[in-house]
Chains A and B, each alone.
Chain A
Amino acid sequence: DEDVQVRQKVVEVDPQEEADFDKELRALMQESLDSRKLELRGRPALNMTIPMNVFEGSKDHHGRVVEGESGDETMDEEGSGGNKVCVKVLVKKGNKQQTKQMYIPQDCSLVQSTKQKEAAELEE
């Protein structure tokens, strides 16, 4: 029930700080990539099958668009209208596969491609 309007000074990030940080971040990325290339010569075994239970009932969630969650929790920096898509995230807990539901913005590249594929499939 509270609405505060704080007139905040615009925070200006020091360009030098930004540049230094960027450099360090890139270095860390590169170093990570390089180390993996050295470590793993051979191809890793594939263990990427999608468990059957994920498909069951998945139509329910299929591309379902929900309104942005109300109020404070939504942070749409890009101002993308707030529409979200429900996806299942597949994770491994030890050797067990688990799925968790999560909402991601409709215009995220991840779901864009799925939607295009769906559209294409529908046409066929």
Chain B
Amino acid sequence: EEPVEDENYEYGKGSFTEHACRYCGVQNPACVVRCNVPSCRKWFCNSRGNTSGSHIVNHLVRAKHKEVCLHKDSPLGETILECYNCGCRNVFLLGFISAKTESVVVLLCREPCLSVNALKDMNWDLSQWCPLIDDRCFLQWLVKIPSEQEQLRARQISAQQINKVEELWKTNPDASLEDLEKPGVDDEPQPVALKYEDAYQYQNVFAPLIKLEADYDKTMKESQSKDNVTIRWDIGLNKKRIAYFVFPKEDNELRLVPGDELRLRYSGDATHPAWQSVGHVIKLTAQEEVALELRASQGVPVDVNHGFSVDFVWKSTSFDRMQGAMKTFAVDETSVSGYIYHHLLGHEVEGQVVRNTLPRRFGAPGLPELNASQVFAVKSVLQKPISLIQGPPGTGKTVTSAAIVYHMAKQGQGQVLVCAPSNVAVDQLAEKISATGLKVVRLCAKSREAVISPVEHLTLHYQVRHLDTSEKSELHKLQQLKDEQGELSSSDEKKYKALKRATEREISQSADVICCTCVGAGDPRLSNFRFRQVLIDESTQATEPECLIPLVLGVKQVVLVGDHCQLGPVIMCKKAARAGLAQSLFERLVLLGVKPFRLQVQYRMHPCLSEFPSNSFYEGTLQNGVTINERQSTGIDFPWPVPNRPMFFYVQMGQEEISASGTSYLNRTEAANVEKIVTTFLRSGVIPSQIGVITPYEGQRAYIVNYMSRNGALRQQLYKEIEVASVDSFQGREKDYIILSCVRSNEHQGIGFLNDPRRLNVALTRARYGIVMLGNPKVLSKQPLWNSLLTHYKENECLVEGPLNNLKQSMVQFQKPKKIYN
């Protein structure tokens, strides 16, 4: 199996240089000296940091070491400090003397050389012996003190930590400061903080959380092997083998995404030898079918269809890149500007204005006109080194982001990097930015190159294949040969790779904007790129370390776009989530007092549908950019209880059940009513792609899909085309009509997934024309937010029960909401 290039790449640029101060990390050669004790040989700087003596003096005193050597790039070069006369190397005895008449100085030891009278007669002035260590610090003109900036950016080590680590070095000379803080195996991890002393402390907090999440992800995915899988074989346009099969999933379990790597196995039979191959998922159909493009083309048992096994091939790449970014953030001073460094860590920094000539108009060619709050956001962020844009549902986040990127690119500060955690969001943004006329390159993970993309013409791999110049004909020839034969001779393969890499670089370098996922920004193909300006969309759905990946490529100006009132990043490991890994950088910056620019006009929802979300999640600030008339379902005959109010809550008393897998829930009566509502919509002239069914439980999702196709009153195909999915997978998207099945209906248990206000916000804000909710008010009303939602529906005479063709207002009693304790 051919390894992906990525695997040999080491993340975390600017790794700790050997001569970095072992206490604080300062690595300026003029500021450090090496302890010359053979068993030690550690480097230390001459800054005091938070202690009374400088770091080197601290070390020498604590460790009782007495000899040092200067750095080879220091003014004196690699020099062991010693007495010019007797060679004594004890720095506590050394000092400089100068010649009487010349500007010549030497080091001389205090005992005995300084007291040799004969020296006086030899043109040396002994009256002004200048000790090497003065005021608990090396002479500053010999070993410089790091600048204030360097010191602020270094690790803020305390005297206690110094004592501890020196103690540790006595038994383990290679121990690092991190070893001091490592929690035991069963300890709860250290929780995230609002502010951090320095990037090392930041790394100390986040690295274990990412490790926990990675371990959890690995265990979970690798345990997902399925046997007795039935395969349908096909061949792709690129002549590669594609295996289609069904890979069922449950709540909180493996969610396959395009680009995932799976291994397909066949144990062999009388006529077939045992066989296996890995491949990448290139597509997932609505029917839960997975399309796997195989790496191997030879020896595939295509005449067999049954008895295959599928394993997940776990990759650590995304986690490696997060860890690498945190390391780079700490050790590489050029990774982000000083302002951004201190700001991200929550240090108080004097405000900084980015001096740029502002454009006369803030819209961009190829984009719709901007509204007032969008113009204000664009104008403001162009002048700030760090800014947040909050885009509530349907407020034109993508257009605003594209306009910002357009103006940044026109400022001539080099290429702009545009990221988002999800591929879908990156594609959308790339498309909009490209519409402004900028040259855009969409960088995809190698594993996703076969995945169909709406912006294929912008992708790097497409552009490499279609770069139509004669110099590239050699690459084209080799590419053709590779496509036809499946592989190349090793010398041709080498040539092919080199040519491809050069072409990739050339195309990427000539772009105005590079678009990729946050994790994609850690791609080795971007390792030599620097981006001063970075925009991250959907940043509230990324973990902090994920957000850091695109930032450590030299950022000086960053715009985070998102909405912390919608769903945050998905963290699978409960321990890591409890410790705060699910809090995005955007959210922490809000808590630190950065005020987001909020886009205020929504263009998605019928004004009746936006009212409750605006009041409950956005302090009533959401204005409607669409009128009731523009959202009237003309010609659609649907039994809305209140005409002109395309919404209702359909009271359901059916019981919830545990799904067959035992890990999820379903609700049969709700499912049956979902089918009736869908059928009514379809009969009234709504087409399947306009409808979305949302339910928080995988058990119910599968049950509804199954139920509709079996019991639907209309053609089966119509129901198959209707998207039924979780709240989470509808985030960032919209449908004309939304049907929400709440499922949970029990006396004593909670309402599970529905408890998160952000999830409710997302569910309520997907529909453009109308929404129908199904659930049990008795159960839901216990939760304060649901209670006020139900009250809102009731007051608007939209809380109903009875058959769909004869809906009546429901008199069901609500429960008193429980007090909120946070």
Report A's interface with B, CB cutoff 8 A. Answer: 2-8, 11, 13-14, 17-18, 21-22, 24-25, 28-29, 32-33, 36-37, 40, 43-44, 46-50, 54-55, 58, 61-63, 72-73, 75, 77, 84-92, 99-105, 108-114, 117-118, 121
Contact = CB atoms under 8 A, between A and B. Distances in A.
A2 B339 contact: yes
A62 B104 CA distance: 9
Contacts of A24: 61-62
Determine chain B's interface SS by DSSP, over half rule: loop
Contacts of B339: 2, 4
B538 to A, nearest CB: 29
Contacts of B110: 33
Nearest to A62: B103
A25 to B, nearest CB: 5
B119 interface: yes
B287 interface: no
B92 A89 contact: no
A90 B104 contact: yes
Given A73-B30, A92-B87, 14 more contacts: A4-B152, A7-B350, A13-B159, A17-B51, A33-B93, A46-B118, A46-B119, A46-B122, A73-B144, A75-B144, A87-B104, A110-B97, A110-B105, A110-B130
Given A91-B84, A100-B76, A25 B61 contact: yes
Contacts of A99: 104
A102 B75 contact: yes
24 contacts: A2-B339, A4-B339, A17-B51, A25-B53, A25-B57, A32-B93, A33-B110, A36-B109, A37-B112, A48-B84, A48-B85, A58-B102, A72-B147, A77-B140, A87-B103, A88-B105, A89-B106, A102-B141, A102-B142, A110-B105, A110-B130, A111-B103, A114-B100, A118-B101
B128 A5 contact: no
A6 B197 CA distance: 12
Interface of B: 30, 49-53, 57-58, 60-62, 64, 66, 75-77, 79, 82, 84-88, 90, 92-93, 96-107, 109-113, 116, 118-119, 122-125, 127-128, 130, 136, 140-142, 144-147, 149-150, 152, 159, 337-339, 342, 347-350, 352, 556
Contact of A28 (B52, B86, B92, B130): B92
B104 A88 contact: yes
Closest 7 CB pairs of A and B: A5-B350, A7-B348, A4-B338, A18-B52, A36-B111, A32-B92, A104-B141
A75 B143 CA distance: 11
Contacts of B53: 21, 25
Contact of B106 (A46, A55, A90): A90
A49 B125 contact: no
B803 to A, nearest CB: 67
B92 A112 contact: no
Contacts of B85: 44, 46-48
Given A5-B350, A44-B116, A89 B76 contact: yes
A89 B85 CA distance: 14
Contacts of B140: 75, 77
Given A28-B92, A63-B103, A102-B76, A110 B50 contact: no
Contact of A77 (B75, B77, B145, B342): B145
Nearest to B91: A32
Given A6-B349, A29-B92, A73 B103 contact: no
Given A25-B136, A46-B118, A5 B349 contact: yes
A100 B74 CA distance: 11
Contacts of A77: 140, 145
**Best-surrounded residue of B62, B109, B556 (most CB of chain A within 10 A):** B109
Nearest to A58: B102
Contacts of A43: 112, 116
Contacts of B123: 50
Nearest to A71: B147
A18 B352 CA distance: 37
**Best-surrounded residue of B105, B127, B159, B347 (most CB of chain A within 10 A):** B105
B58 A21 contact: yes
A8 B92 CA distance: 33
A101 B77 CA distance: 11
Contact of A111 (B50, B51, B82, B98): B98
A21 B98 contact: no
Contact of B84 (A32, A61, A90): A90
A24 B136 CA distance: 11
B75 A6 contact: no
Contact of B88 (A8, A36, A85, A100): A36
A102 B150 CA distance: 23
A61 B104 CA distance: 10
A40 B75 CA distance: 33
Nearest to A33: B111
A109 B102 contact: no
Contact of B145 (A6, A33, A75): A75
B84 A87 contact: no
Nearest to B96: A110
Contacts of A104: 105, 141
B51 A21 contact: yes
A40 B124 CA distance: 22
Nearest to A44: B86
A96 B730 CA distance: 77
A117 B125 contact: yes
Given A4-B338, A36-B88, A37-B111, A110 B128 contact: yes
Contacts of A36: 88, 90, 93, 109, 111-112
A5 B348 CA distance: 9
A35 B142 CA distance: 26
B119 A48 contact: yes
B139 to A, nearest CB: 8
A61 B105 CA distance: 13
Contacts of A100: 75-77, 79
A118 B82 CA distance: 28
Nearest to B342: A6
A109 B92 contact: no
